[in-house]
């Protein structure tokens, strides 16, 4: 019994040392994530990207007070979208960066590829930190002697379970799936600064066709300008339709609207859901009557727009939209004191055109 008690003390000390070593080997929560989506293409949020990286790692390394900073920036590129990952590690000279491009402009697939790249970068930082912390505990090489029959000294390395997280030197560049083209480079990039914040002002030009503002189906055009944010936008638009001619008795009447529109929108993954407020004038003129008259009246509407925009280049996009308007004013055109035509309660418009953005 005394012998058993004598061994109990050293066993507890050994267990404490092993436990302390295990705690020291826990992942260091010292990485600060800085995220900026400058693409205005409604890419995954910071929370979604962080969750995807944590899911791949199996632990959460991110901390607001971390010394190592991983900066993630998504911007528009000439062929779609570009994601840049920059690692600023105070223990190393310079910064390492990786760039991933999505030629299809698909933010979902770009987000998956970036989450993978972030998890690889973070785990590499962890393994490098763990390896560096083991170096001082090793005796200097000149103090090591190997007696005959001794095993060669063991070189410290990453845990076997983590080997699949570290890309070998010969691993090809990160590609995601077929729609992601990557020019990932793990070499330090000391000269590449972070992209400046973009002020996404936009100008648009559309052709459109509508029914309800005038007799029959009309065609027209719209010129707009506005501000585009991450998930909201505001655009002001001027619209004019070609005159629509309709015959009445011995003559004809021409009617056409001229409208100014304000459209606040919420943007979700390339789709825009907008409210519409329009005000302008409905013009009309007669021809072939005993007394030809012309005039205009106030035209006001409220409505809704559903739009989708496809990215063509860094600055150029293609937009399609559908408008539904409720006409808040009652407008009509009279001939010989009698109503010849009146606007309907609802108007529908379909449009397509180009958009361009600039800082």
**Does residue 234 or residue 150 have the better pLDDT?**
234
Structure confidence at residue 6 (pLDDT)? 40
Structure confidence at residue 111 (pLDDT)? 84
Structure confidence at residue 242 (pLDDT)? 94
Mean pLDDT of 195-199: 44
Q: Provide the 10 A C-beta neighbour count for residue 184.
A: 18
The answer, yes or no, to whether residue 222 has pLDDT greater than 70, is yes
**Does residue 195 or residue 134 have the better pLDDT?**
134
Asked if 346 and 231 touch (Cβ cutoff 8 Å), the reply is: no
Average pLDDT, the chain: 74
Most confident option among 27-41, 155-169, 226-240: 226-240
What is the pTM for the complete model shown?
0.54
166 CB-contact burial (10 Å; exposed 0-12 / middle 13-18 / buried 19+)? middle
Mean pLDDT of 90-104: 79
Q: Which residue has the tokens 């408008």?
A: 323
Q: ∠ CA 113-116-118 to the nearest 5 degrees?
A: 110
Mean pLDDT of 301-314: 89
Give 106-158 as a DSSP string. Answer: -HHHHHHHHHHHHHHHHHHHHHHHHHHHHGGGSPPGGG----TTPPPPPPP--
Residues of the chain with CATH 2.40.160.20: 201-358
Structure confidence at residue 265 (pLDDT)? 95
pLDDT band at residue 266 under the 50/70/90 scheme: very high
pLDDT band at residue 199 under the 50/70/90 scheme: low
Q: Which residue has the tokens 């223990």?
A: 91
Q: Give which of 324, 244, 236, 245 is closest to 280, Cα–Cα.
A: 236
Judged by DSSP in three states, 67 sits in coil
CA distance 297 to 219: 20
Phi, psi (rounded to 5 degrees) for 285: -145, 150
User: What is the second-level CATH architecture of the domain 201-358?
Assistant: Beta Barrel (2.40)
Most confident option among 73-77, 186-190, 246-250, 343-347: 343-347
Asked if 249 and 335 touch (Cβ cutoff 8 Å), the reply is: yes
């Amino acid at each position: 019994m005394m012998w058993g008690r004598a061994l109990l003390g050293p066993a507890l000390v050994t267990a404490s040392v092993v436990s302390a070593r295990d705690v020291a080997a826990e992942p260091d929560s010292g990485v600060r994530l800085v995220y900026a989506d400058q693409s205005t293409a409604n890419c995954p949020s910071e929370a979604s990207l962080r969750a995807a990286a944590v899911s791949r790692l199996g632990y959460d390394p991110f901390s607001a007070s971390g010394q190592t900073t991983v900066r993630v920036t998504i911007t528009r590129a000439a062929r779609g979208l570009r994601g840049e990952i920059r690692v600023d590690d105070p223990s190393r000279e310079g910064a390492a960066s990786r760039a991933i491009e999505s030629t299809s402009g698909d933010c979902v697939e770009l987000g998956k590829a970036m989450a993978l790249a972030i998890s690889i970068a973070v785990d590499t930082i962890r393994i490098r930190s763990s390896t560096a912390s083991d170096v001082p505990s090793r005796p200097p090489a000149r103090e090591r002697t190997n007696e005959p029959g001794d095993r060669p000294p063991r070189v410290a390395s990453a845990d076997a379970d983590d080997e699949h997280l570290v890309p070998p030197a010969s691993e090809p560049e990160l590609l995601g799936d077929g729609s992601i083209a990557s020019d990932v480079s793990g070499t330090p990039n000391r000269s590449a600064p972070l992209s400046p914040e973009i002020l996404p002002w936009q100008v648009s030009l559309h052709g459109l066709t509508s029914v309800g503002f005038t007799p029959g189906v009309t065609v027209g055009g719209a010129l707009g300008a506005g501000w585009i944010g991450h998930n909201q936008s505001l655009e002001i638009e001027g619209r004019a339709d070609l005159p629509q001619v309709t015959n009445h008795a011995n003559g004809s009447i021409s009617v056409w609207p001229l409208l100014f529109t304000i459209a606040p929108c919420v943007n979700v993954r390339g789709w825009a859901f907008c409210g519409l407020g329009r005000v302008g004038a409905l013009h009309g003129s007669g021809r072939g009557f005993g007394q030809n008259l012309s005039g205009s009246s106030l035209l006001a509407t409220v409505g809704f727009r559903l739009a989708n925009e496809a990215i063509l280049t860094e600055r150029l996009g293609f937009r399609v939209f559908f408008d539904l308007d409720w006409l808040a004013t009652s407008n009509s055109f009279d001939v010989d004191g009698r109503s010849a035509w009146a606007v309907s309660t609802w108007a529908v418009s379909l449009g397509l055109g180009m958009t361009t953005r600039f800082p």
